[in-house]
Structure 1
């Protein structure tokens, strides 16, 4: 499957030429035999062809080929709604939901996915949270509405390529270091430390502590030697 949107057989949405429908019926008859005639035995042939021509206006030639391929495995001839679903399986909301679930997980992982139709992708974008956390049954009404809105668009942009991630914005240029401001800041910190501890730097405080600890160890020994 391709994620690209194939052009419809009728670019402006008008019914496809009747000769195309007649050619399609000939191919269906070659596959299905007399069962196709039985489906429309009581219908006006010209009216039947007109209905098919109007219904297939928004379908691409690849979708019709998909429908013909599906017919080859059927025992009974399809009527018009059945053939449309064979051409475009995602017309079934539950089938489209399963495709949306798989497709969005694949797309989010950065891997291209073969959407059967762009409309499924654009509808799926609106329910990404529900696809992860809910079920088709719970979301059916909203999903059917979103899907119907997408099918009604008539034209669709192709799903974006998930491998083309947006580049991060460039880091802001580093400002040159103001040496004077740095020295002033260090001096202010030293003055604050001296007021609080009596020492202007951590090093001075550490050295004073070391001297005090050394004195505490030496003095008792010195006192002991003197008394001896």
Structure 2
């Protein structure tokens, strides 16, 4: 277990009137869950054990003060009772739940089939959908694709960076309708050729875009974007 000198979460801060970040967090949780929170600790040693265990977990998981601020905010809507360590870590770094991400991906793939960019709150959602395949994403139900989707989505979320989401191909007329014009075909070929030779640009561009305009984004998506940029700077 880390000592106070080794763990920044246990060091007193002048800006916090001489208390540590863990002391500050204890007070915030005590205020959010009056009586419920403090009843978990029978004596001062129990509080010290809590501070040491949580500080160690924060250090090992690379939790930042921004993450903890998100965790406090998310606890208000996620938990009626004081969170365990595992629950608090989940609140600090929320992700789009698998089923919600799936339905977002279906809408995004439907848009791309029409030649539109679609709304992709996180590149992991797009690349998971690409792994499953556009045809299956649009033709199969959540119940049918649940296992495949969850596997692909978990793999993508575990990555530290993602390629930029490519521009959609030019939409061509549906079968049986008017044939594509030469201009449409040429544009489609040029787009595919450009995609084949283009090198990925900033893999964190998606995060910059989200944080530049977070309005309407879910807390999970904003937290994921902030975390991606913090990892880049580390």
TM-score, length-scaled by structure 1: 0.48
TM-score, length-scaled by structure 2: 0.47
Tell me which of the two structures has the higher relative contact order, counting C-alpha pairs closer than 8 angstroms and 6 or more residues apart: 1
